[in-house]
Amino acid sequence: MKTAIGPGEILAVRQGLYWHVGIHEGAGTVVSRRPGKGVVRETLREFAGEAELHIVPIDRPSFPPAEIVARAASRLNESGYDWLERNCEHFVGECVYGKASSRQLWVAGALAGVLALGGKYAAATNFVAVLGLGIAGVAAFALLSKPPTAIPFAEAGDATDLVVRT
């Protein structure tokens, strides 16, 4: 059984160590904030490239789906990208919750704190223990920043309709 993904859903694709997120408009398009481009509308294929699409569950949105899509579309061609204050997660948070936030930045900040703490005590402790702390921090970053639900493209065509296999 296949179920279509509705407008206003948050979609995500893994891009190296981080997740790129956007708002699904429906009809095979996504609105997101991109480095060097600002807020853009892309096809699902352009948004995902060759990466697997994921859907991010929305917990208590501040707006109904149609308004989320309208809020995203109203920002099209808005320029600027700053990974600390105006990244794709900030954009999605503003559209869905009315407030900018970036969970990935929070997790990365926590990881940096763990690594800095490990570095502070490196001279006084065993190198292997500090290395283990760093590896644990990287693993925590990867696990905590992963959207939970994978959404594969349709098997045929150019995947203009996003589907979930259930």
- Residue 32 CA neighbour count, 13 Å, CB half: 25
Question: Which CATH number is correct for 2-102+147-165, 3.90.1720.10, 3.30.460.80, 3.20.20.60, 1.10.3210.10?
Answer: 3.90.1720.10
Q: What is the pLDDT of residues 103-155, one digit of tens each?
A: 776 666 666 666 666 555 555 555 555 555 556 555 555 545 555 344 433 33
- Taking the C-alpha atoms of residue 27 and residue 24, their distance in angstroms, rounded to an integer, is 9
Longest dimension (CA), the chain: 59
Fill in the DSSP letter of residue 64.
-
Tokens of 20: 């790129």
The pLDDT of residue 147 is: 52
The pLDDT of residue 161 is: 42
Short-list 46, 28, 39, CA closest to 71: 39
Q: What is the pLDDT of residues 54-87, one digit of tens each?
A: 888 888 899 999 999 999 999 999 999 987 788 9
Q: How far is CA 94 from CA 11, 16, 32, 54, 86, in A?
A: 15, 24, 11, 20, 10
Residue 25 confidence class, pLDDT cut points 50, 70, 90:
very high
Domain locations in the chain as residue ranges: 2-102+147-165
Short-list 126, 124, 90, CA closest to 105: 90
Place of tokens 């493209």: 153
> Is the predicted pLDDT of residue 158 greater than 70, yes or no?
no
The pLDDT of residue 132 is: 59
Fill in the DSSP letter of residue 83.
T
CB 6 within 8 A of CB 26: yes
The pLDDT of residue 105 is: 67
Q: What is the pLDDT of residues 33-51, one digit of tens each?
A: 999 999 999 999 999 998 8
Highest-pLDDT range among 5-14, 19-28, 66-75, 153-162: 66-75
Q: How far is CA 129 from CA 66, 108, 114, in A?
A: 51, 21, 13
